[in-house]
Amino acid sequence: MKTFGNITSFVEHLAAVAVAEEISIRKGLSQSIEIVAKEAKREFGTYQEQIGPFVAWAELAEPTRADRVRKGYSEDNPLLRSGETRDSIGTVISADGLEAQAGSNSDVLLYQELGTAHVPPRSTLGGAMARKLPQIREILGASLVAGLAGEQVFNRFLEIGE
């Protein structure tokens, strides 16, 4: 157990812990949002099962299949044509590093994510977040503990399995 000779050394220790905690959380948040973006991109071209509130992707309609073939694309790879929409997915982290977003400026992705009167929803971002939530919880939990305990202490704990 760490002991402190005076109140000043204790306050300095608390300040150092606060800084380490924030750095660790920023790192975990950055890793987490990249995992969501990568998963969302991976979903293009493959039908997705329902997860949480995000419905399973509907089969492509016959006119859509015919249009895809006519334009030189494979018949049955939902959401995947040129890859432009998939590749528009990116991440943004706030200036303070404590907020993160995965998303796109593509209207096409918005219509696919939410659906329209003529297109059923095929969630990529929401579904990716739901699928990766257990991994994100693990990363953020580990980041929190590593920040409080100190990364070296936490990593050593993981190595010895206590």
Looking only at the bridges linking them, the beta strands covering 100-103 and 90-93 are antiparallel
pLDDT of the residue at 160: 42
Residue 161 has pLDDT above 60, yes or no: no
Given CA atoms 97, 100, 102, 105 in this order, what sign does their dihedral have?
A: negative
pLDDT of the residue at 115: 94
Residue 156 has pLDDT above 70, yes or no: no
Tell me the three-class secondary structure of the chain, residue by residue.
CCCCCCHHHHHHHHHHHHHHHHHHHHHHHHHHHHHHHHHHHHHCCCCCCCECCECCCCCCCHHHHHHHHHCCCCCCCCCCCCCHHHHCCEEEECCCCCCEEEECCCHHHHHHHHCCCCCCCCCCHHHHHHHHHHHHHHHHHHHHHHHHHCHHHHHHHHHHCC
Instruction: Please report which confidence band the pLDDT of residue 149 belongs to, taking 50, 70 and 90 as the band edges.
Output: confident
Please tell me the least confidently modeled range out of 14-28, 38-52, 112-126: 14-28
Residue 144 has pLDDT above 80, yes or no: yes
How confident is the model over 118-130, as a mean pLDDT? 95
Summarised one tens digit per residue, pLDDT across range 82-100 is 999 999 999 999 999 889 9
Residue 139 has pLDDT above 80, yes or no: yes
